[in-house]
Chain A
Amino acid sequence: GAVVSQHPSRVICKSGTSVKIECRSLDFQATTMFWYRQFPKQSLMLMATSNEGSKATYEQGVEKDKFLINHASLTLSTLTVTSAHPEDSSFYICSARGAGTYEQYFGPGTRLTVT
């Protein structure tokens, strides 16, 4: 099946620093990658959608200058949380979709804690 990896799985950083999260599709080319945020006991909240070689499309209320997304290749997308603050602490999950398909396959998620 389609495999998506995400790194790191956990990160603790100090307030004001930046954190980069990588999402890779290992055995297929990801036309589109999605970045989600999930709070405890809640559903997935879509932050942004990215296509290879294009600028990401951000959902309403998500600051594009704070959550920088790069999708430089068909197998790699990165999310950088800039100047992180404690309220950015959350579970961040990426998903990837191949060309012409509906199915999204998820990475294992990254638990970000900002102290």
Chain B
Amino acid sequence: GENVEQHPSTLSVQEGDSAVIKCTYSDSASNYFPWYKQELGKRPQLIIDIRSNVGEKKDQRIAVTLNKTAKHFSLHITETQPEDSAVYFCAASKGDSNYQLIWGAGTKLIIKP
């Protein structure tokens, strides 16, 4: 079945710098790749997603890139701010099994003031 690996598990960056989180997936049939942000004790929130027919998508300070050949996708956050500190999860879906998501293990992002 599908497997999603996420790296790094913890990322510490200086405020104002950029952060990049990477995921790889195993099933080439996967065609939907969301990123969720989860603050401590709260619900995961969808922050950006990308479909397999697109290579890059941007929304203000966040962007996601997808390399279908290599089966990689990445989250880029520019001009990081303290409120970006959270755990970020990537996921992948191929639209079967009720559009079930296969989740990465998560990355704890720490923004240092």
Give A44 to B88 CA distance when docked, in angstroms.
12
* Also in contact, A104 and B46, with CB within 8 A (given A43-B89, A44-B103): yes
Question: Is A35 part of the binding interface, using a Cβ–Cβ cutoff of 8 Å?
Answer: no
A102 near B89: Cβ-Cβ < 8 Å: no
- A101-115 CB contacts (< 8 Å) to partner B: 101-109, 111
* Also in contact, A49 and B100, with CB within 8 A (given A102-B34, A102-B93): yes
| A51 cross-chain contacts in B, Cβ below 8 A | 98
| B100 cross-chain contacts in A, Cβ below 8 A | 34, 46, 49
Identify whether the interface residues of A are mostly helix, strand, loop, or mixed. Answer: strand
Q: Which of A44, A97, A103 contacts B98 (CB 8 A)?
A: A97
Identify whether the interface residues of B are mostly helix, strand, loop, or mixed. Answer: mixed
1/0 per residue A18-43: CB within 8 Å of B? 00000000000001101000000011
In the complex, identify which listed stretch (B37-45, B64-72, B74-82) lies at the interface while the others stay far away. B37-45
Question: Is A79 part of the binding interface, using a Cβ–Cβ cutoff of 8 Å?
Answer: no
| B97 cross-chain contacts in A, Cβ below 8 A | 49, 57
Q: How far is the CB of A108 from chain B (nearest CB, A)?
A: 5
Most chain B CB neighbours (cut-off 10 Å) among A49, A51, A107: A49
Question: Is A69 part of the binding interface, using a Cβ–Cβ cutoff of 8 Å?
Answer: no
A102 near B49: Cβ-Cβ < 8 Å: yes
Q: How far is the CB of B27 from chain A (nearest CB, A)?
A: 15
Give A107 to B44 CA distance when docked, in angstroms.
8
Q: How far is the CB of B10 from chain A (nearest CB, A)?
A: 10
Q: How far is the CB of B93 from chain A (nearest CB, A)?
A: 6
Question: Is A76 part of the binding interface, using a Cβ–Cβ cutoff of 8 Å?
Answer: no
Most chain B CB neighbours (cut-off 10 Å) among A44, A46, A109: A44
Question: Is A93 part of the binding interface, using a Cβ–Cβ cutoff of 8 Å?
Answer: yes
Give A91 to B40 CA distance when docked, in angstroms.
12
* Also in contact, A44 and B49, with CB within 8 A (given A49-B97, A101-B99): no
